[in-house]
């Protein structure tokens, strides 16, 4: 029976996803994928998972398997206080909400705040998963320009002056897709702008722990705690399959997130929260994080070196101090998408950057490259293949470092 | 800072929840609660949880902790095929979707289908958690009358004739809140009615495995598979804190549930799905289910016996063959809510039945009683207290069985 006439208005608009279509080929056998945004399985603390499970079962018994508070499992919320403190987030267990991944928090925030047609200000380019969480609530987007240091504060100022903006969404550290990090000065400017405009900002921070070089930058929330909903996740420092997101929000927003989340999934898995509580409070994370960095750091370096060797001179790319992605940009006028298909023929996948923009026609010459899922030799080979495709298209020879 | 002006239209309407307010007192120390809808912790297979976790870690390794398909972890979907078959649901692994609890499926279905003002037909009384999942999508409700055998098919027929109904929502077996079960003849009639009207029905089936007496009744879906979205959960037969719901839907609805769920939480916990896969495929559930029934059956019996002894003659109640709830109804004109507060003073909690109706003024003399969380002696004592309160209000003496 055909039930398509029953679909809600919002559903028709969610429609076919162009990126989902083009990425279908990524799972073909033999494909080397720089397209994903997935932590390496070898970064998971598999050697202690059994021990953590045993500990949780012994310590909490059936409580770890029972229905629990929508706000989150209290021992996990407690364990997050010092963890967040180390990230520059001063808060209490009561102020912390647990979500089913950051995705769950993004969904709940949009459900609480966004009416049809409301404006969300986003970086250009921005994180696709956030757009996917927001889409069912039918917002419109106002794009804010970025440069090598992320969001340009003056652009935020202009956007807030010219629009009634419901919500600002940023990934300030090792951004997805660009890898860029907002310097502390810009963070302070942005904090001042949102305070003065009484604006509300989502600071989405999944990657800041993945720092391979340089100094940590304080979160925007540390400069404007009342105007920021801060999100982070255990997906990149523990295990993404456990679906554990963390949200610190101003009290009158937080209250509604709880009401909304109760309707969505009652609460996030108690057992998984208990595992994470032990992982944090037992100090396991302190031992695991250096291992994770020791896997990703050399992969990033391998990619940066290979880009210098193989990519055309006319390309530039980000050189982030951490995270999971690099962002490469070719000469204006170059359309990367046909070259995506050429790369696929040569068994290398990436994501054409245009898909991270809310407006069509932008970012045509850009590409996102992930380096967490492949070892150094594979990355070197894959960038070689991509360099060949790009040089072929431009009629040039490999770049600067060659 | 006050951000209440930023709330979405839908959020204002979710407002304060009257039931949440009255149930706040339930967690007072010393309270005996017949108010919950929570499985007994002693029903969880704690003796094998460690073994299951070890098995999963050995068998699936990091895969059990990695991002996974939005549709669900393939080995869990495979293991559900024979499990659902035993419930009378013939389907394939491809047709099964995993949700974060049934709640997650209800949210996703409403998100896919319900536009503001759309009509959802529900039993009077109906399951509150479903109303909570639907609320943010701003439906209106059409109530369908019920009797001791559940939904009256003629009423469904009338409702479909008089209204454009987007969705019908039923809990046909051991309903929450009444405990009632639709007999097979009514199921066939309902199947015929929805087929003839090309209507779509959610059959929410969390309780059918909790049968203490009598014969299983086939699900409505077995008579109208193309018109039914079937939901079940592992919360009552494994552990609710793992948040594992199961959804079998017609293909063109299923496709959209996946798109929507991806925006909500990407996917349900891989590790928890892997635990459930082992629990089902390893035959653990076959050994656990009789233990669960051996806990709940005597508790239900104790409550039924105590009601006969202590409740006023003017009260009647459901005598279900399974599930978690009994539904008691006093004489017309009796308002139970003031007596709720009397009972609370005497340290016994239940849920006044009015909260399970979508229309104000209905069910004033009704109450929902849960028997899964207390042992037989506690149940006997609590029903004695409630009987005293009710007899006091009616100026009567204890009932029939005394």
Structural domains in chain A plus CATH codes: 7-36+287-394 (3.90.1150.10), 47-282 (3.40.640.10)
| Residue to test with chain A: of B61, B129, B229, B269, most A Cβ within 10 A | B269
Please give the pLDDT value at position B402.
43
Q: Find where tokens 């057992």 sit.
A: A271
Calpha distance B37→B356 (Å, rounded): 13
* CA distances for B158 relative to B37, B163, B164, B268, B363, angstroms: 32, 8, 11, 39, 22
**What is the tens place of the pLDDT at every residue in B61-70?**
999 999 999 9
Return residues 360-399 of B near A (CB < 8 Å).
Answer: none
pTM of the model: 0.97
Please indicate whether, in this complex, the C-beta atoms of A272 and B267 are within 8 angstroms of each other. no
A106 within 8 A of A133, measured Cβ to Cβ: yes
Please give the pLDDT value at position B210.
98
Touching check for A17 and chain B: CB below 8 Å? yes
Contacts with A244 (C-beta within 8 Å, 6 or more apart), sequence order: A98, A100, A101, A233, A234, A235, A238, A268, A272, A273, A276
CA B201 to chain centre: 16
Please give the pLDDT value at position B19.
79
Chain A, chain B: beta-carbon pairs less than 8 Å apart: 234
**What is the tens place of the pLDDT at every residue in A78-129?**
999 999 999 999 999 999 999 999 999 999 999 999 999 999 999 999 999 9
A379 within 8 A of A371, measured Cβ to Cβ: yes
**What is the tens place of the pLDDT at every residue in B25-39?**
888 899 999 999 999
Paired sense of beta strands A245-248 and A96-99, if any: antiparallel
Calpha distance A312→B126 (Å, rounded): 65
**What is the tens place of the pLDDT at every residue in B88-110?**
999 999 999 999 999 999 999 99
Torsion of Cα atoms, B125 then B126 then B127 then B128, to 10°: -70
Return residues 140-169 of A near B (CB < 8 Å).
Answer: 166-167
Calpha distance A164→A167 (Å, rounded): 9
Please give the pLDDT value at position A168.
98
Which residues, in sequence order, are bridge partners of residue A370? Answer: A325
| Residue to test with chain A: of B65, B128, B324, most A Cβ within 10 A | B65
Instruction: Determine phi and psi for B368, rounding to 5 degrees.
Output: -105, 130
Residue A402: band (very low, low, confident or very high) from pLDDT cuts 50, 70, 90? very low
Calpha distance A209→B358 (Å, rounded): 48
Please indicate whether, in this complex, the C-beta atoms of B250 and A3 are within 8 angstroms of each other. yes
Decide if pLDDT at B339 tops 50: yes
Q: Find chain A residues with C-beta within 8 A of B138's C-beta.
A: none
Q: Token pair of A347, please?
A: 């068994």
Return residues 22-61 of B near A (CB < 8 Å).
Answer: 38-39, 41-42, 44, 46, 49-50, 53-54, 57, 61
Residue B361: band (very low, low, confident or very high) from pLDDT cuts 50, 70, 90? very high
Please give the pLDDT value at position B398.
79
CA A196 to chain centre: 27
Touching check for A117 and chain B: CB below 8 Å? no
**What is the tens place of the pLDDT at every residue in B13-23?**
776 677 777 78
Average pLDDT value over all residues in chain B: 95
**What is the tens place of the pLDDT at every residue in A277-289?**
999 999 999 999 9
Torsion of Cα atoms, A358 then A39 then A316 then A175, to 10°: 50
Q: Find chain B residues with C-beta within 8 A of A259's C-beta.
A: 14, 17
* CA distances for A163 relative to A160, A199, B142, angstroms: 5, 12, 40
Please give the pLDDT value at position B1.
78
Q: Find chain A residues with C-beta within 8 A of B4's C-beta.
A: 252
Calpha distance B354→B25 (Å, rounded): 18
Calpha distance B342→B62 (Å, rounded): 54
Paired sense of beta strands A228-233 and B150-151, if any: unpaired
Q: Which of B2, B3, B65 sits opposite A242 (nearest CB)?
A: B65
Q: Find chain A residues with C-beta within 8 A of B67's C-beta.
A: 38, 235, 240-241
Q: Find where tokens 């302190």 sit.
A: A286
Please indicate whether, in this complex, the C-beta atoms of A115 and B14 are within 8 angstroms of each other. no
Calpha distance B213→A350 (Å, rounded): 58
């Amino acid at each position: 029976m055909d039930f398509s006439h029953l679909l809600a208005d919002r559903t028709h608009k969610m429609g076919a996803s162009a990126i989902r279509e083009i990425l279908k080929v990524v799972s073909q056998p033999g494909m080397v994928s720089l397209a994903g945004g997935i932590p390496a399985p070898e970064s998971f603390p598999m050697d202690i998972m059994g021990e953590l499970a045993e500990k949780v079962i012994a310590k909490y018994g059936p409580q770890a398997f029972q229905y629990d508070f929508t706000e989150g499992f209290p021992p996990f919320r407690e364990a997050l206080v010092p963890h967040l403190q180390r990230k520059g987030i001063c808060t209490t267990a009561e102020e912390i909400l647990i979500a089913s991944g950051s995705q769950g928090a993004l969904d709940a925030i949009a459900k609480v705040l966004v009416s049809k047609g409301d404006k969300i200000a986003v970086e250009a380019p921005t994180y696709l998963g956030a757009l996917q969480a927001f889409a069912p609530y039918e917002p419109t987007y106002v794009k804010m320009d970025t440069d090598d240091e992320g969001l340009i504060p003056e652009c935020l100022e202009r956007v807030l002056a010219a629009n009634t903006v419901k919500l600002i969404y940023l990934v300030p550290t090792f951004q997805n897709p660009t890898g860029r990090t907002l310097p502390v000065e810009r963070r302070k400017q942005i904090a001042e702008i949102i305070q003065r405009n009484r604006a509300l900002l989502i600071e989405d921070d999944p990657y800041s722990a993945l720092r391979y070089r340089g100094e940590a930058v304080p979160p925007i929330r540390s400069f404007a705690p009342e105007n920021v909903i801060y999100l982070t996740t255990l997906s990149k420092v523990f295990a993404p399959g456990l679906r554990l997101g963390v949200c610190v929000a101003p009290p009158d927003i937080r209250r509604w997130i709880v009401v909304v989340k109760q309707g969505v999934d009652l609460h996030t898995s108690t057992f998984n929260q208990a595992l994470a509580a032990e992982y944090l409070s037992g100090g396991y994370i302190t031992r695991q994080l250096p291992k994770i960095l020791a896997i990703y750091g050399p992969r990033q370096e391998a990619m940066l070196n290979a880009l210098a060797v193989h990519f055309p001179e006319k390309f530039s790319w980000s050189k982030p101090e951490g995270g999971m992605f690099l962002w490469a940009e070719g000469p204006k006028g170059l359309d990367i998408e046909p070259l995506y298909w050429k790369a696929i023929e040569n068994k290398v996948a990436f994501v054409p950057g245009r898909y991270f923009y809310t407006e069509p026609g932008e970012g045509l010459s850009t590409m996102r490259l992930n380096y967490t899922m492949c070892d150094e030799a594979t990355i070197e080979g894959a960038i070689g293949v991509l360099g060949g495709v790009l040089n072929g298209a431009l009629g040039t020879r490999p770049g600067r470092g060659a």
